[in-house]
Structure 1
Amino acid sequence: MEHPEYTLSRDDLEDINEAFALCDPERTGRISPEDLGTVMSALGQNHTESEIYRYSEGLDEMGNGFITLKDFVDLMTKMYKLMDQTDYLKAAFNTFDIDKDGLISYSELRATFYSLGDRMTDEEYDKLFRQFDTDNDGFIDWHDFYNAYKS
């Protein structure tokens, strides 16, 4: 499933620029790869050293020893988009997880669809449940739900 282009809000873009400026006080539009963790932490992004290293390598593809503001904004846009999608999916999952035990049972799936006005046959519910229950344990957990969405 293809997602529409994600656009940062004005506030998010402002926050990203301010965080970048912490390590770019002269406003050159670039920082060293070693500063990436500091800038990301200022935005509430907590990553391991190995993750920061991978990000910095991807952003300094030319090997010129710096990360541009544009490249950093692109990275953060991707991260914000991912966070936004995950929040949306978790909200959807929680709608189906009526008893809030972290699992969606067959009856919860059916009750939720029924409450939304969707009337399906038993066979259609069975098929839908099997598509989401990717590990065939009789419940749809977050992992199943996420994987079914991604497929």
Structure 2
Amino acid sequence: MGNETSLPMELCSNFDADEIRRLGKRFRKLDLDNSGALSIDEFMSLPELQQNPLVQRVIDIFDEDGNGEVDFKEFIQGVSQFSVKGDKESKLRFAFRIYDMDNDGYISNGELFQVLKMMVGNNLKDAQLQQIVDKTILFADKDEDGKINFDEFCSAVRSYPEVPAGHGTALTVWK
């Protein structure tokens, strides 16, 4: 990654040139087929991601062009959101996007159910999970339109100070 590649990435991320170079090495190591992009299988080659039920959602969000793979620019922009230098607003926006599966700007009852189901698997019966989802919507949906917009999401997450802002699993504490 030369300066001509890393300079624009510095402008669209929370990383400096040295961090981008290090991430470039990591990216190339993960890019097992040398295609210049990471597939779900290549991401899953990381042991720390193999048990994470939200990996596919994270990849979907990183994959800005929707081609099913994450290129280096998408990788840098995506990982940048997790940087300690990143602002809370970006972290909250990322967490919101985990739940907003159809990217319409709202978290619906069905979307919240689907994402929480990914997290809890079969540890809860669907009826129990639906109760949690319904209570969450009632708690967070201040304008009573049956769905959660970004501002409502932020207010709900911030009302739980023991949960760090930006952690997508924050909604699971609403029981």
Same fold (TM over 0.5): no
Q: TM-score range by the shorter chain?
A: 0.3 to 0.5
TM-score normalised by length of structure 2: 0.36
TM-score normalised by length of structure 1: 0.40
